């Protein structure tokens, strides 16, 4: 069905092209096409003002400014035929159309606009009836090869889960997979289309700044799915969520044609807005005009929100599959072993001698197979997935696998339970309406506004466990008793805190997976322990440090952690204009069932510089609880003690 | 694959919002040179995968498209790319007598679905003979095809050996 559709729309099936007055000579159809016919078509396009059509704006990616002018998101000259095409939809359309109708027996079809812009050509063809008017098509060999090769029976949006240890990956990543009609079950061999930046520097600071503000070019590229599996699932221990879309053959044709067009250009890469997940959605623009981008992608593009936008698009159905990461598979295989077998597996994975395998002799063959499979996973976890491993490592790898091969036992496919789907998690943005009270009896209200993403008390389903990632989180405090105060009414509304970024990753220690936990924060806000409630009682703070965590399942689930942090503060709050301190903290996150989570933390601070009132030590205690009412509504309770101040809060959390 | 997360935290402290490393994504080849399936093409192969927050493959791969190769129409290039990128996983699947990589590999060799099980058996029983550390993955590919050619069933049902 699809190949026929492609062939017809490319006009290659000559019998489908009906031409009035075909001359009897052997002149080709291309030579017969007269310039009057070109002008007639140009006039038809002008009369219909096709450059105003929403589809034209979608295809050329025009965005309208508040002044009514247009600019295309595309930044490469190759995306436009008209010299001013980037800002002039009308000029671009007329230039495209004319160029598509001329030079039809070119020796260089690759460069011909019919071949460079097959989606535009298809659309113009439908608008103007180009086929029935006898417009001869240019044969585009590379495009035909591409369409024929992709030939998908299924289109799948794949999301790599978030990865906190690499800031560009903290929100996850998405790309599009095309499962081939010839072998729809060999997913590894599916082709994917990915959008990514081409960095031009390795310098961490430049990389960050340029990545955020359009300093790199982003391009579409293609590769087999197995390349991405190796990168994400093996190399980065990230799960892959595969969302199958039910699309018609016609819709798939549009996506493929449009992808070919987008390949002509680059887009300046902006990490927060025009990032990988944003441009993957480009491919759906010709077929899903109702995709609710504005509702989900306001200010920033967060990958999970692109999935939600697709879910909310009328007529779109998503069916998800879970592909566990290497680490998850390793943990699964490890958990199948008893403690003795675990010891043997550890020994084999860490050892270097062939005699290590003699430990298997006491086991039944089926158990030996399980031990070797787990040992191999752990071995790979430790040694990595590089092609350039040292000889000794390669030989050890082969030894382990050879032992497994010798057993001649066929393993069963792993059956790993999937965590909750990411799109069932709470919304990426949060607003909190909070009431509070201080130990001096004063009441206040707070407004919490957070653009993204998740903290330790928010309902955990769909997020990386025990993680915190907050960006642009604002807390405003309203002190109503100051509205009528004459001395400092300006403090009636106070910046309690503004967190540019706050991240925490607690990874419970378990056999074979012993990662450090860590926490970091960059904030401007009121210095709580000083007890003052004014704008001058504020400072900028940079803090963070490493720690460890453990997990138990005594009730439902408990996480214990301990951190050592450094705190650097500077601001008018301090007599010395700044303060440096170290802290050691211990905390517990307790799940009581699925709806209630409690978090307590105790921290001792020692101020090495800038101590206030000659008191270098102080104690901070925090106790919070989150009661889930629904996917996007929760009740938050909080009580804090810091030096001499105590505060209590109760609030309603609303997510979007 | 142990991550020293603190190094990421350090940089995160220094640079609000974003620190470096680990890929935005691979700088891959344009769509014209991605031609997999019946018509084969070579892709820009991974130099190695991430082995730490800062050892990202983005730094191991040249940016741009200079390493991309046009499609050449040869099925064997498909197979070579696959075995090079997935060698370890393939050897593991073969040792276990089944697996997604082994199955995809059989598909690339043009094996009809009915003989996949026979292919899996062959690679498991002859595991030691086939997969030796001295041979590069592409040499192992040649060896496997040679062994398959001598097996009457596989030779007849696998079209691309």
Please count the other Cβ atoms lying within 10 Å of the Cβ belonging to residue B151: 16
Yes or no, beta carbons of B95 and A384 under 8 Å apart: no
Q: What percent of chain B has pLDDT over 90?
A: 41
Alpha-carbon distance A430 to nearest alpha carbon in chain B (angstroms): 19
Residue window 277-316, chain A: list those with CB within 8 Å of chain B.
none
Contact A332, A248 (CB under 8 A): no
User: With 60 as the cut, is the pLDDT of residue A350 above it?
Assistant: yes
Find tokens 């790898």 and name the residue. A397
Q: What percent of chain A has pLDDT over 90?
A: 73
Query: Would an 8 Å CB–CB cutoff place A514 in contact with chain B?
Result: yes
Yes or no, beta carbons of A395 and B133 under 8 Å apart: yes
Of B4, B16, B100, the CB nearest to A522: B16
Alpha-carbon distance B128 to nearest alpha carbon in chain A (angstroms): 6
Query: Would an 8 Å CB–CB cutoff place A447 in contact with chain B?
Result: no
**Predicted TM-score (pTM) of this structure:** 0.87
Of B12, B20, B30, the CB nearest to A520: B12
The pLDDT tens digits of the residues spanning A536-545 come to 999 999 999 9
Q: What is the dihedral of CA B13, B18, B23, B26, to 10 degrees?
A: -160
Mean pLDDT of A448-475: 96
Split at pLDDT 50, 70, 90, the class of B12 is very low
Yes or no, beta carbons of A401 and B125 under 8 Å apart: no
Lowest mean pLDDT among A533-547, A633-647, B63-77: B63-77
Query: Which carries the bigger pLDDT value, residue B39 or residue A199?
Result: A199
User: With 50 as the cut, is the pLDDT of residue A635 above it?
Assistant: yes
Split at pLDDT 50, 70, 90, the class of B49 is very low
Split at pLDDT 50, 70, 90, the class of A515 is confident
User: With 60 as the cut, is the pLDDT of residue A9 above it?
Assistant: no
User: With 60 as the cut, is the pLDDT of residue A82 above it?
Assistant: yes
| Residues on chain B touching A195 (C-beta within 8 angstroms) | 25
| Residues on chain A touching B28 (C-beta within 8 angstroms) | 194, 196, 221-223
Yes or no, beta carbons of B22 and A398 under 8 Å apart: no
Yes or no, beta carbons of A221 and B29 under 8 Å apart: yes
pLDDT at A388: 75
Q: Nearest-CA residue of chain B relative to A237?
A: B1
Q: Which helix (H) or strand (E) segment is A9 a member of? A: helix A2-9
Interface test with B, best of A224, A238, A498 (most B CBs within 10 A): A224
ipTM entry: 0.86
Of A168, A381, A382, the CB nearest to B24: A168
| Residues on chain A touching B137 (C-beta within 8 angstroms) | none
Q: What is the dihedral of CA A174, B60, A188, B121, to 10 degrees?
A: -150
Alpha-carbon distance B130 to nearest alpha carbon in chain A (angstroms): 10
CA atoms of A537 and B45, how far apart (whole Å): 55
pLDDT at A481: 87
pLDDT at A32: 52
| Residues on chain B touching A408 (C-beta within 8 angstroms) | 97, 124-125
CA atoms of A323 and A425, how far apart (whole Å): 18
CB contact set of A25 (below 8 Å; sequence gap of 6+): none
CA atoms of A282 and A74, how far apart (whole Å): 11
User: With 70 as the cut, is the pLDDT of residue A18 above it?
Assistant: no
CA distance between the termini of chain A: 41
DSSP tally for chain A: helices H, then strands E: 18, 21
Half-sphere exposure in the Cβ direction for A270 (13 Å, CA)? 12
Q: Nearest-CA residue of chain B relative to A370?
A: B96
Of A182, A183, A410, the CB nearest to B97: A410
Interface test with B, best of A197, A385, A542 (most B CBs within 10 A): A385
Please count the other Cβ atoms lying within 10 Å of the Cβ belonging to residue B63: 17
CA B100 to chain centroid, in Å, comes to 12
pLDDT at A241: 97
Yes or no, beta carbons of A202 and B59 under 8 Å apart: yes
Residue window 116-145, chain B: list those with CB within 8 Å of chain A.
120, 124-125, 127-128, 131-133
Tell me which residue of B95, B103, B116 sits closest to B158, measured CA to CA. Answer: B116
Split at pLDDT 50, 70, 90, the class of B77 is low
Mean pLDDT of A50-79: 95
The pLDDT tens digits of the residues spanning A321-340 come to 999 999 999 999 999 999 99
Mean pLDDT of B88-95: 94
The bridge status of strand A517-526 relative to strand A493-505 is: antiparallel
């Amino acid at each position: 069905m699809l190949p026929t559709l492609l062939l017809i729309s490319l006009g290659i099936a000559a019998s489908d092209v009906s031409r009035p007055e075909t001359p009897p000579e052997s002149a080709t159809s291309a030579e017969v096409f007269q310039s009057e016919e070109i002008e007639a078509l140009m006039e038809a396009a002008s009369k219909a003002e096709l450059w105003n059509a929403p589809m034209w704006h979608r295809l050329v990616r025009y965005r309208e400014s508040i002044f009514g002018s247009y600019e295309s998101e595309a930044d490469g000259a190759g995306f436009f035929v008209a010299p001013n095409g980037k800002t002039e939809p009308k000029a671009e359309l007329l230039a495209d159309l004319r160029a598509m109708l001329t030079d039809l027996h070119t020796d260089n079809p690759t460069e011909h606009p019919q071949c460079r812009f097959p989606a535009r050509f298809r659309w113009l063809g439908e608008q103007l009836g180009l086929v029935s008017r006898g417009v001869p098509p240019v044969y585009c060999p590379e495009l035909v090869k591409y369409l024929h090769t992709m030939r998908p029976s299924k289109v799948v949006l794949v999301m790599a889960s978030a990865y906190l240890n690499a800031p560009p990956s903290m929100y996850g990543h998405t790309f599009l997979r095309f499962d081939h009609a010839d072998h729809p079950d060999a997913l590894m061999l599916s082709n994917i289309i990915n959008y990514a930046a081409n960095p031009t520097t390795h310098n961490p600071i430049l990389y960050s700044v340029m990545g955020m503000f359009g300093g790199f070019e982003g391009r579409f590229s293609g590769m087999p799915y197995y390349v991405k599996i190796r990168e994400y699932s093996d190399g980065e221990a990230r799960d892959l969520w595969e969302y199958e879309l039910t699309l018609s053959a016609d819709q798939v044709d549009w996506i493929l044609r449009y992808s070919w067009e987008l390949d002509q250009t680059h887009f300046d890469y902006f990490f927060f807005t025009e990032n990988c997940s944003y441009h993957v959605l480009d491919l759906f623009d010709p077929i899903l005009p109702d995709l609710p981008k504005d509702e989900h992608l306001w200010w920033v593009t967060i990958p999970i929100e692109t999935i939600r936008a697709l879910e909310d698009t009328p007529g779109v159905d998503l069916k998800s599959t879970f592909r566990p990461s290497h680490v998850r598979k390793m943990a699964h295989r490890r958990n199948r072993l008893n403690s003795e077998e675990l010891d043997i597996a550890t020994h084999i994975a860490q050892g270097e001698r062939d005699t290590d395998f003699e430990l298997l002799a006491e086991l039944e063959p089926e158990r030996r197979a399980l031990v070797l499979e787990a040992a191999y996973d752990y071995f790979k976890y430790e040694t990595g997935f590089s092609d350039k491993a040292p000889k000794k490592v390669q030989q050890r790898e082969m030894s382990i696998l050879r032992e497994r091969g010798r057993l001649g036992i066929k393993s069963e496919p792993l059956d790993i339970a999937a965590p909750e789907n990411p799109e069932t998690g709470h919304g990426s943005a949060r607003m909190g309406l909070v009431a509070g009270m201080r130990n001096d009896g004063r009441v206040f209200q707070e407004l919490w506004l957070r653009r993204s993403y998740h903290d330790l008390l928010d309902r955990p389903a769909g997020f990386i466990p025990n993680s915190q990632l907050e960006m642009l989180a604002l807390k405003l405090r309203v002190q109503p008793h100051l509205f009528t105060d004459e001395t400092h009414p300006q403090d009636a509304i106070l910046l309690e805190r503004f967190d540019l970024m706050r991240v925490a990753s607690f990874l419970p220690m378990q056999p074979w997976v012993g990662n450090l936990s860590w926490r970091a924060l960059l904030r401007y806000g009121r210095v709580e322990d000083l007890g003052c409630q004014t704008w001058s009682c504020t400072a900028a703070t940079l803090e963070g440090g490493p720690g460890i965590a453990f997990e138990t399942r005594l009730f439902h689930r408990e996480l214990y952690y301990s951190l050592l942090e450094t705190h650097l503060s500077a601001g008018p709050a301090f007599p010395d204009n700044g303060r440096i301190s170290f802290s050691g903290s211990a905390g517990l996150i307790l799940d009581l069932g699925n709806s209630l989570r409690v978090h307590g933390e105790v921290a001792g601070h020692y101020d090495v510089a800038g101590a206030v009132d000659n008191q270098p030590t102080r104690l901070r205690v925090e106790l919070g609880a989150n009661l889930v009412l629904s996917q996007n509504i929760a009740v938050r309770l909080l009580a804090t003690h810091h030096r001499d101040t105590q505060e209590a809060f109760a609030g309603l959390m609303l997510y979007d | 694959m142990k991550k020293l997360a603190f190094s990421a935290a350090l940089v995160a402290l220094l640079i609000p919002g974003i620190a470096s490393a680990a890929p935005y994504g691979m700088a891959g080849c344009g769509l014209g040179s991605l031609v997999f399936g019946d018509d084969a093409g070579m892709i820009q192969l991974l130099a190695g995968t991430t082995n730490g927050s800062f050892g990202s493959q983005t730094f191991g791969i040249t940016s741009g498209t200079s390493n991309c190769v046009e499609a050449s129409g040869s099925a064997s290039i498909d197979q070579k790319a696959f075995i090079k990128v997935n060698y370890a996983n393939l050897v593991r699947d073969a040792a276990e007598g089944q697996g997604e990589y082994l199955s995809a590999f059989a598909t690339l060799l043009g094996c009809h679905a009915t003989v996949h099980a026979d292919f899996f058996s062959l690679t498991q029983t002859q595991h030691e003979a086939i997969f030796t550390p001295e041979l590069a993955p592409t040499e192992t590919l040649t060896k496997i095809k040679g062994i398959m050619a001598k097996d009457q069933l596989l030779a007849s049902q696998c079209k691309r050996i």
